[in-house]
Amino acid sequence: MTTKPTLADGLHLIVKRDCPTCVLIEPAIAQLAATSQPLTVYSQDDPSFPEAVDAVDDGNLFVSWHHQIETVPTLLRIEAGMETSRIVGWERSQWETFTDQQDLAPEIAGYAPGCGSLSVDPDIVDELAFRFGASPLRQRRVEFAVAEDDVEAMYERGWTDGLPVVAPTEARVLRMLEGTSRDPQEMVAIIPPLLEPATVEQVAINAVMAGCKPEYFPVVLAAVEAACTDQFNIHGLLCTLWFSGPVVIVNGPIRHEIGLNSGKNALGQGTRANATIGRALQLVIRNLGGGKPGDDGIDRSALGAPSKVGWCFAEDEENLPEGWPSLAVEQGFAPTDSTVTLFAGHGPSGAVDQTSRTPEDLIRSLAGRLIATGHPHQRSEAMLVMTPEHQRVFADAGWSKQRFRDELDPLLVIDPSVALPGIAGESEQASAGVPKFRPGSLMIVRAGGDAGAFSAIIEGWIGGRMGSEPITHKIER
């Protein structure tokens, strides 16, 4: 942090040439400079302006930033080293009273509002805050050579997921940190596979690289915390040869605050919040935890999936029918809570049925697709993303979400005579069938456009002690 400049007693005027009001009042400046009253003029953009005085060059905006100049011209009065008063813009009688000068530049029009100070220019305000303010950042800045292209340099250093990333300058990281009240040096989680501790600041760096806005940052932090629990087991998910990666589903008021998409193309591209939140989580795992793919990395997936780049969407809670609680409410949270749910999945694969008009017919159709998840003769994990058109068939018939589950479960049974070895215990093999999904492991959410008689199945990895359990985590601001 730089020390605030100490100004001598007297009048101090901040101007810029690129301000019509500042140019307009040059005669008044010249008249004040000719008096015995001390006057110092600071020029933000041209030290030769105004010509009537020897202006102090404030091109680096050091004085303007420290004295919180928002408008030029601004006239300050300093007494005993402290600012006692100020006026902004131009109004003759006000200036005459402030400076104790009569007939001050009578040829100038009576009022002019002034212009925005360069020190509050949105393009540089964050950079100035880092340059002159008390920075909470502790991470080392990596300097690139003058001839290096930033984007290419970050590729070469292995910081990307194969797509371009945003350079995490100090100003951008500080802006990202404004999205949370948490201390930048607070530890968020231990990131596998290297088991490196990650601070809020380090997560913010990766959120910048992913393209997030500051208002997305609390969701990213919650997703990182949830992913690094034993329950979700991101380490195991990284090491598996299977396809899956973390899928982030957001519930609660924050969905609308940050513009997450739960409607048309909710599982696809086109919405910044959806595209960058999941990517930020993956960059944290890659850059802080060392979870990189390839022969020299720990991610050895045989094929991989787009969910390994990043996948995030919101549930369409407002249009849920009566008796169909949201995913978060099913997990014990209040409708007013904002949450993230992480599911180890990939896909999606379609569940198409444009002809069924009764819940009995449609549920058999959905069950047929679900039973084939992973392998038709083997247990699996899945999330059913139900579109409005399909859900209406059940809601219009008076079915609740619980009845839907009760009717669906008996249809999701694997014939023990064809069940693959090792998926069921002896007692299950002796029963009428092997449940396709473990109790509570089939998650159901609503999303998608209003038209389209097809839903989606996000296929999962494996659950239980050796796999990944879905987890819902509250978002803290």
What residues does 187 pair with on adjacent strands? 199
DSSP for 301-354, please give it.
-SS--GGGT-EEEE---TTPPTT---HHHHTT--TT--EEEEEEEEEEEEEE-S
At residue 430, the pLDDT reads 45
Cα gap 387→391, rounded to integer Å: 6
Task: Fill in the DSSP letter of residue 297.
Answer: S
Nearest CA-CA partner of 250 in 259, 241, 242: 259
Buried (b) or exposed (e) across 243-271, using 16+ Cβ within 10 A? bbbbbbbbbbebbeebebbbeeebbeeeb
Q: CB of 215 within 8 A of CB of 272?
A: no
Nearest CA-CA partner of 176 in 246, 255, 277, 305: 277
Length of the chain: 477
Q: Which residues of the chain have pLDDT under 70?
A: 1, 420-432
SS3 category, 42: strand
Nearest CA-CA partner of 382 in 301, 470, 438, 457: 457
Cα gap 209→247, rounded to integer Å: 19
Write down all domains in the chain, each with its CATH number in brackets.
10-132 (3.40.30.10), 150-474 (no CATH)
Q: CA separation (Å) from 277 to 37, 48, 204, 357, 426?
A: 58, 48, 11, 37, 44
Helix-strand-coil percent breakdown of the chain, rounded to 5?
30, 20, 50
Place of tokens 């990213």: 220
Task: Fill in the DSSP letter of residue 378.
Answer: S
Is this model's pTM higher than 0.85 or not?
Answer: no
What residues does 434 pair with on adjacent strands? 414
Task: Fill in the DSSP letter of residue 89.
Answer: S
At residue 417, the pLDDT reads 78
